[in-house]
Structure 1
Amino acid sequence: MSFAGVKCHLEENENHSFRVQISANATKTVAELRRPLEEIVNGRTINHPSLTPTVLQHLFSRDGINLMKSIQQETRTYILFDRHSLKVRIFGSSVNAAEAEQKLVQSLMLYHGSKQLEVSLRGRGLPPDLMKQVVKKLGPDLHGLKEKIPGANFTLNTKHHMIYICGDKELKHKVEEIVYEIAQTSSGPNGSSEMSNTEIACPICLCEVEDGYQLESCSHLFCQLCLVEQCESAIKNLDSFPICCAKEGCRAPILLRDLKALLPIEKLEELFRASLGAFVASSGGIYRFCPSPDCPSVYRVADPGTPGEPFVCGACYAETCTRCHLEYHPCISCERYREFKEDPDLSLKEWCKGKDHVKTCPVCGYTIEKTDGCNHVECRCGRHICWACLESFATGDACYEHLRFVHSAII
Structure 2
Amino acid sequence: MFSVDGCQHRYCFSCMKQHVEMKLLQGMLPKCPHEGCHSVLKIKSCKKFLTSELYVSMSQRIKEASIPATEKVYCPYPRCSALMSKSEVLGKAANAYAGAQQTGAQKCTKCSGLFCLNCKVPWHSNMTCYDYKKLNPYSCVGDAMLKSLAKRKSWRQCVKCNHMIELLEGCHHIYCRCGYQFCYNCGAEWKDKKATCRCPIWDERNIIRNGHNRPQ
TM-score (norm 2): 0.48
Which of structures 1 and 2 has the larger relative contact order (alpha carbons within 8 angstroms, sep 6+)? Answer: 2
Q: TM-score, normalised by structure 1?
A: 0.27
Q: Which has the larger radius of gyration?
A: 1
